[in-house]
Amino acid sequence: MTDPLHRELLDLAQEAARRAGELLRDGRPADLAVARTKSSPIDVVTEMDIAAEKLITDLISGRRPGDGFLGEEGADTEGTSGIRWVIDPLDGTVNYLYGLPTWAVSIAAEQDGETVVGVVAAPMRGETYHSVRGGGAWATGAWEGERALSCRPAPPLDQALVSTGFNYVAEVRAHQAEVAGRLIPLLRDIRRSGSAAVDLCDVACGRLDGYYERGLNAWDFAAGDLIAREAGALTGGRPGEGPARDLTVAGTPGVFEPLQRLLEDFGAWHD
Ligand code: IPD
Ligand code: CA
Ligand code: CA
């Protein structure tokens, strides 16, 4: 039986992700331009990132005025209810800017600091992934009802398909490329989708064996991390730690452990 509060948070997260996803999909201007940049000249924000975050925070705060927010585009409030929403209104902005289909709306709800609900909507795939803590991982799409997600049985590491991402800061990217260069001969192959939230859900769906990245923020991984874990994946950061800015790692059991060890040996968390 799902806790009624968690059910309410899930329903609200799904509605917000669906409406923001429709806004982004149907409202993308043909002449979409960069509104401003953040950590570097290639770390871009569009008017649509900002509009999607506003839609989500307006909707949720209208229904649950006591909740707090942490959103990539600036939402940052404590709240009084013990619930905080961690939101990436558009994960995969560079893909979106270029008209590539891999981008998502990522919404997580934390209760007393722990993620209890995660929703990732990938509108151009026509798929949405969701989890409530302890309740498994699920997808909805162009089929009847909900499909249970479960990560793949582990192949040997040299047959594992692993995704990663590159930070927007040039020196960090250069170091990430070195680490990827050392890893690639040891794996089946490497992918770079352009959306951390989609990568984590692809581990949950069994479409990837593993994923890692340095430099993520909580809004990038909060929802996808819960969905991956609820699908049976292992997730973490550096050995013994949870996913963090230093390092985020996810993988099917049997791939996660050697991948995390190699990333530690290769110093993936720093340059
Ligand atoms: C980015 C994407 C990308 C990852 C970057 C993130 P954004 O998020 O998740 O895949 O490699 O580290 O910052 O900027 O598109 O929301
Ligand atoms: Ca992001
Ligand atoms: Ca974003």
pLDDT exceeds 80 at position 247: yes
Does the beta carbon of 215 sit less than 6 angstroms from any atom of ligand 1? Answer: yes
CATH 3.40.190.80 occupies which residues in the chain?
Answer: 157-265
> With bands split at pLDDT 50, 70 and 90, how would you rate the model's confidence at 257?
very high
How far apart, in whole angstroms, are the C-alpha atoms of residue 235 and residue 87?
19
- Going by C-alpha positions, the residue among 123, 117, 112 that lies closest to residue 23 is 123
Question: Could you tell me which of 193, 190, 2 has the C-alpha nearest to residue 96?
Answer: 193
pLDDT tens per residue, range 132-152:
999 999 999 999 999 999 999
Q: Which string of DSSP letters, residue by residue, matches 159-188? A: G-EEEE---SSHHHHHHHHHHHHHHGGGSS
Q: Which CATH class is domain 157-265?
A: alpha beta
Q: What is the mean pLDDT of residues 117-135?
A: 98
Which of the ligands is closest to the CA of residue 222? Answer: 2
> Is there an atom of ligand 1 within 6 Å of 195 CB?
yes
Please report the pLDDT score of residue 173 as a whole number: 95
* CA angle 137–138–141, rounded 5-degree value: 155
pTM value is 0.97
Please tell me whether 220 is known to bind a ligand. yes
CATH number of 4-148: 3.30.540.10
Which of the listed residues 42, 87, 195, 208 should we mutate to test ligand 1's pocket, taking the one with most ligand atoms within 8 A of CB? 195
Question: Which residue intervals of the chain bear CATH 3.30.540.10?
Answer: 4-148
**Ligand 1 in reach of 88 Cβ (< 6 A):** yes
Per-residue pLDDT, averaged over 20-33, amounts to: 93
Pairing of strands 137-140, 83-91: unpaired
Rounded distance from Cα 200 to ligand 1 centre (Å): 12
Give the Cα separation of 63 and 198 in Å (integer).
Answer: 27
- Ligand 1 contact via 71 beta carbon (within 6 Å): no
| pLDDT higher than threshold 80 for residue 29 | yes
Tens digit of each residue's pLDDT (9 = 90 or more) over 107-120: 999 999 999 999 99
Q: Which residues surround ligand 2, an ion (CB under 5 A)?
A: 88, 91, 220
